[in-house]
Amino acid sequence: MCTKELAHIEMISTMVYQLMKDATIDEIEAAGLDAHYAEHNKALYPTDANGVPFTVTYFATTGDPLADIAEDMAAEQKARAVYENLIDLTDDPDVIGPLLWLRQREVVHYNRFKELFDFYQESLNPKQQNIDKNLICDNNNSNNNMIPNNNMNPNTNNQNINPNNNFMNGMEQNFDSLSNFFNNLNQKM
């Protein structure tokens, strides 16, 4: 996983280098990169948009597989959102192309983490999984507490299920389709 993430950093760094290598001082100043130039010239230095250097403090681990995988899933979604924001900021097809590819990788990685999360959730705590499937968010409750909903009980044969209360079942069906797709793809490789 680390190799994959480092490759993403390398691709973004290469794009930044290619965009800056022939820039004049005036262009660098106009782009708001004068502080970067003063400190690093046109060299690459991994920072966030505010100039805060990359640090391993961004990594969060608890030792709990479900919590750690959920953190990984959130990181993939955040990266996807950042790539989408970067795409919105440019009209250069040579920048948009790699960003679209990186964005799609985040979507695929999220889906793979979701498969692993579901596997561990089922393996580590099957009773909790059944409880979670029977809970939904009560939009009418001001505390937004999770409450049991009989319509989501997989053992109920209720044919008049409100689609708004059936969100989790729909998500599970979509995920099952993706899981089958990836399983078939892996078998062909």
Other Cβ atoms closer than 10 A to 102: 20
The predicted structure's pLDDT at residue 113: 94
The predicted structure's pLDDT at residue 33: 87
Does 54 lie in the same domain as 78?
no
Domain finish residue from 13, 28, 59: 59
Does 142 lie in the same domain as 102?
no
Does 68 lie in the same domain as 55?
no
Q: Is 91 part of any domain?
A: yes
Does 118 lie in the same domain as 84?
yes
Locate tokens 């640090």: which residue? 55
The predicted structure's pLDDT at residue 179: 60
Does 6 lie in the same domain as 34?
yes
Q: Which residues of the chain have pLDDT under 70?
A: 1-2, 125-189
Contact between 113 and 69 (Cβ < 8 Å): yes
Domain finish residue from 59, 79, 101: 59
Locate tokens 């130039």: which residue? 37
Q: Is 139 part of any domain?
A: yes
Q: Is 186 part of any domain?
A: no
Does 163 lie in the same domain as 150?
yes
The predicted structure's pLDDT at residue 81: 95
The predicted structure's pLDDT at residue 177: 58
Does 117 lie in the same domain as 79?
yes
Rounded Cα distance between 97 and 33, Å, is 23
Does 53 lie in the same domain as 7?
yes
Q: Is 184 part of any domain?
A: no
Does 52 lie in the same domain as 2?
yes
Does 109 lie in the same domain as 149?
no
Does 68 lie in the same domain as 119?
yes
- The whole domain housing 163 covers 131-172
Does 46 lie in the same domain as 3?
yes
Total number of domains in the chain: 3
